Amino acid sequence: MTLEELTEALAEMGEKAFRGKQIFTWLHSRQAVSFDEMTDLSHSLRERLKETFQLIALEPVQVLISSIDGTRKYLFRLPDGNVIESVLMKYKHGNSVCVSSQAGCRMGCRFCASTLDGLARNLAPSEILEQVYGIMRESGEKISNVVIMGSGEPLDNYGNVIRFIRLLTDEKGYHLSQRNITLSTCGIVPGIYRLAQEGLPITLALSLHASEDEARRELMPIARKYTIREVLAACDAYFAATGRRISYEYSLVKDVNDSLDHARRLAALLRGRNCHVNLIPVNPIQERNFRSTDRAAAQNFKLTLENYGINATIRREMGRDIQGACGQLRRKYQSEETVD
Ligand code: SAH
């Protein structure tokens, strides 16, 4: 609930207006896990709150810590038994959490583990928010950046994701800077136009992965619905409306999209755009025989883009030893549960 909704609900219960703000602060500034913690509320009010509302507080059922880079991968169980995963990455510039927006996914990208079992359901705003708060509680760390890049397609759960962003960035709550949020989409074109009108200065990351429609369709079913030209036009509109530079994501798959020719075509496609390319050596999943581009080839790909004036970075692959990529841990956990 937003602060306004909470205030209104409390007023309907016959409480003073400031109670709403008090509870909002407990939830979002102090990440309370129960009404009992809210000791500046009367005992009877706390009891009524318990009867009237459901407070979702997520405790991880599993935490894996990478011995390579300290990345922590979390598995949370939701009240209905679904499990979702989130990641804490520590960088010099601050801590970043990667959240899931859906349990599973129905987008079908070939290299991604999140989608292998399809979509279970959309996550509620509270369930997305609690991934951030639950990680803060477990790790004792403050979070300065959030990327909506875990399992699920955020623009396929549009309303709940927007509500999550507004709650997390509310100045009366945790007040994370909207500029420190990145939303990654496989390219649902109407959703991108809609997002451009929300008045949110968040970064849009677009999963491109190919520079030609035919090749993109091989990797991503959504490309059968929208052409690259349509996706780029939507991204241009997003940039025009928000002034936020677009991040294009390009997962490098050996012998599929990683040649220097591919790099040149990608550069031609993005020429003249104020953008950034994030190269992600594909994190191979066992269900598909995609292989990752090696370091040197990735480096050459990046240099080729730069020669054509396109900014690019190779994303550090974090948490490889802990099922770091989208959907890998959830899937492993679920298959082990079935065996048990
Ligand atoms: N549905 C959204 C966000 C989730 S995926 C989207 O498609 O953008 C976040 C990014 O990781 C996307 O660019 C996705 O294509 C990429 N990705 C997923 N699985 C991957 C893997 N195994 N290796 C490399 N990149 C992967």
Question: What per-residue confidence (pLDDT) applies to 340?
Answer: 41
Residue 224 near residue 231 (C-beta atoms within 8 A): no
pLDDT in tens, 95-130: 999 999 999 999 999 999 999 999 999 999 999 999
The number of helix segments (H) and strand segments (E) in the chain equals 11, 12
Atom of ligand 1 nearest to the CA of 107: 1
328 lines ligand 1 (CB under 6 A): no
Nearest alpha-carbon partner for 131 in 172, 92, 98, 82: 98
Can you give the C-alpha Rg of the chain in angstroms?
Answer: 21
Phi-psi region of 124 (alpha: psi -120 to 50; beta: other; left: phi over 0): beta
222 lines ligand 1 (CB under 6 A): no
Structural domain boundaries in the chain = 1-55, 58-339
pLDDT of 339 strictly over 60: no
Atom of ligand 1 nearest to the CA of 111: 22
Tell me what the mean pLDDT of segment 146-152 comes to.
97
Q: Residue 177 and residue 9: Cα distance in Å, rounded?
A: 27
The residue nearest atom 15 of ligand 1, judged by CA position, is: 207
Atom of ligand 1 nearest to the CA of 156: 1
Which of 130, 186, 326, 336 is catalytic? The answer is: 326
> What is the fold of 1-55?
DNA polymerase; domain 1 (1.10.150)
Q: Establish whether 85 is a catalytic residue.
A: yes
The residue nearest atom 14 of ligand 1, judged by CA position, is: 207
Assign domain 58-339 to its CATH architecture.
Alpha-Beta Barrel (3.20)
pLDDT of 159 strictly over 90: yes
pLDDT in tens, 12-38: 999 998 999 999 999 999 999 999 999
Three-state secondary structure readout of 273-303: CCEEEEEEECCCCCCCCCCECCHHHHHHHHH
Reported confidence tier of residue 43, pLDDT bands at 50, 70, 90: very high
